[in-house]
Amino acid sequence: MKLSGASTPNQRSLFRCHRLSLAVTSPPPESGEVSTNHSSSIYIYTHPVGRGQWDMRRVNRPSRMALSHYGVSRASCYAAMLLFGLITMLKITSFFCFYSTCCPVMEINIPDSETQQNSRRRKKSTVWEHFTVKTDGPGCAKAYCKRCKKSFAYLKDSKQAGTSHLKRHISQGICQKNQQIPCSKTDANPPKKRARAKPCFAAISFDQERCNSKIAKMIILHDYPLHIVEHQGFVDFVRALQPQFNPLSFNAIQGDCVAMYLKEKENLLTLLNGIPGRVNLTLDLWTSNQTSAYVFLRGHFIDGDWNLHHPILNVFMVPFPDSDGSLNQTIVNCLSDWHLKGRLFTLALDKFFSNETLMGKLRSLLSVKNPVILNGQLLSQNCYARVLSRLALDALSAMRETIDKVRENVKYVKSSKSNEAKFLELRQQLQVPSTMDLLIDDQNKWDSVYYMLVAACELKEVFGCFDAADHDFKMTLTLDDWKQVETLCAYLKYLYDATNILTVQPYPTANVFFLEVSKLQMELTCAALSQDPFCSRLIMPLQEKFDQYWRESCFILAVAVAMDPRYKMKLVESTFAKIFGVNAEQWIRIVEDGLHELFLEYNIIQVLPFTATDDDEGNEAMIKTESFQEGSLDGSLFAAEDGLSDIEFYISDFTCNQQFKSELDEYLEEPLEPRVQEFDILSWWKINGLKYPTLSRLASDILCMPVSTLSADSVFHTEIRKMDSYRSSLDSLTLEALICTKDWFRYKPLPINVSNALVKVEC
């Protein structure tokens, strides 16, 4: 009996255990015996682990075993039995293969759950599932792809023409036939995995539509022109990444962008239809090089989970500067498109829209019909960011000559590397503790002018000595100039801090602005009365303008801070006492009355739907409610045709009003919440919504009221934003799609599960 595939003990299969290794063979040549078909003895070679020599043992005439029915020789049967016993005794876990001259190859397996079988034979490459080998002549063999029938050079056991290039043909998508097979088919019968074989990478099918969607999103997010898909450089780059990519046309990518916009609009519309409260709107105006302007209509609302949203709803073009005539109807159409008719709480716009007729029409769109509530401040023409920008520009204009001197000095230092190196060396010698670096300002953004002045003031000592280090530098600023610049920076800092709140993410709620605006009002008032003539002369015009804004906005800001359980009416009372003095009670009373009227408005809306038996009755009740309100304002209580119905309605309303006031009084009389910096007011109202059901609905609408019509990236601009010529050339739908969708992508995704598939539209 011989071991399969071996002729000497050193080449035979070894069975290793903790103690020794062994091999089985026929009589060795050195024994002098002749191997026959029916050998009466077998030889066992033992090889203890760690030694270098073999020990041979002879087993004579073993008894017949029960494996004779396999048709093998007696020696082979006894050898199998003996080896099986030895392997079991020595705890060897493997398999062995042997044969005799009168029997076929026989395999005995010894299973073990803890050890994986290890086949010694060479594995066949999985590449042959995709290729066949044909011999074209003596020593000339080629491998043919089963799919595309392409031929490749192949030499067995060769590193130069083996199977590597065949694997690349399949796994890297080079085979075009393989690209056309859908993923469902290619994945149905995956190649079998073999031990110690490298994983076979399945071909990834190319998805043109998915790539088109990604390109459309890239264009929207980064403001790339739609024509980029036709630029030769872009086409070459994409084809280098994926040769199968089909170039897009302008119309195709335009359609994909609009389709993405329509899908996201459905998403937002679903969210808007599900909110329990109302919506606040702002109107921002952008000019252009043409005789037209663009209005950005932005919504501000809180959803059912008390998350604040402020997406751009529409972008539409209006005539400029005479835009008042068409603006009202356009806004009405937008409200109808978003299903927001009767759900508009406040509307904020800039003083560009100053037509009294327009203001009257816009006021009629508000859900609260009483124009006297809070002095009519539910419709505001005061943009907080623009007011602060005008104040900053006025202050900078008052010191234009001095600021120009500072700018020229900074530009000289930054004009060359050598000048900057000299300035830095002198700064280190003087050991100036400033950590700021000089920068050249952007005169279209007043915060950059502020940064330049602050940095220059901190390095004024270096400027004072720089003329000695650089003889070409001429110092033109005096000590009085630097003192005036420092005074200017001190008050610009108040404006900067007040404006910078608008850039915070997430967007701040309305309750934070009362404290900031009142602090700025008191600081400017104090500075205007200063004994320093320069300070008084600089700040007095600013204080007069800001005082006008304060008086036109303080009521609505006071109502917002009253919804903050850390302050309620206490902060309003204290602040008004400091600002208005003996007239504080009158101003406080206006806030309290406005707050109660809003409660009454919300209480009526909440109660009426429960008194109706169907939708028609609910609509009729709402009409009666509005009639009652208008009659009350005119001084006539019984304005309806049926006097008894009016009395019943009045009694019902009076009962609701009593209950509503008790809810308000309970909130105002409870102790204040601790004034911690990380207080989350939206979470507080979400938790206490069951305790104050009506008040929480009003709070959700008040807290999302906007104080600025500008976006966060525009609050420091000194001029009205202008639409570039490229965007102005686009049609209205495409322009709206690009601007709105980018705004929706920039913030937290809407919590609606919508498919990513594109909606195909005709452009």
Considering the entire predicted model, what is its pTM? 0.66
Q: Which residues are CB-neighbours of 36 under 8 A, at least 6 positions away?
A: none
Rounded CA-CA distance 530/385 in Å is 26
Range among 125-134, 265-274, 287-296, 463-472 rated most confident: 265-274
Q: How many CB atoms lie within 10 A of CB 560?
A: 21
Mean pLDDT over 297-305 rounds to 95
More confident residue, 201 or 752: 201
**pLDDT at 630 > cutoff 60:** no
Q: Which of 106-110, 391-395, 454-458, 719-723 has the lowest mean pLDDT?
A: 106-110
pLDDT of residue 3: 40
Mean pLDDT of 436-464: 92
How many helices (H) and strands (E) would you count in the chain? 25, 16
User: Tokens 């104050």 correspond to what residue?
Assistant: 692
Instruction: Band the pLDDT of 547: cuts 50, 70, 90.
Output: very high
Q: What is the pLDDT of residue 740?
A: 96
Helix 533-562 to helix 570-580 angle (10° resolution) is 150
Contact 720, 284 (CB under 8 A): no
Cα–Cα–Cα angle for 30, 32, 37, nearest 5°? 110
321 secondary structure, DSSP code: S
Mean pLDDT score across all residues of the chain: 77
The more confident residue out of 665 and 278 is 278
Q: What is the pLDDT of residue 434?
A: 83
Q: Is the peptide bond before 565 cis (omega within 30 degrees of 0)?
A: no
Number of neighbouring beta carbons within 10 Å of residue 350: 21
Is the predicted pLDDT of residue 8 greater than 50, yes or no?
no
Mean pLDDT of the 579-589 span: 94
The residue that leads in pLDDT, 119 or 283, is 283
Say which range, 279-283, 457-461, 639-643, has the weakest mean pLDDT.
639-643
Average pLDDT over residues 49-66: 48
Confidence of residue 480 (pLDDT cuts 50, 70, 90): very high
Higher pLDDT, 309 or 23: 309
- Poorest-confidence range of 138-152, 392-406, 492-506, 618-632? 618-632
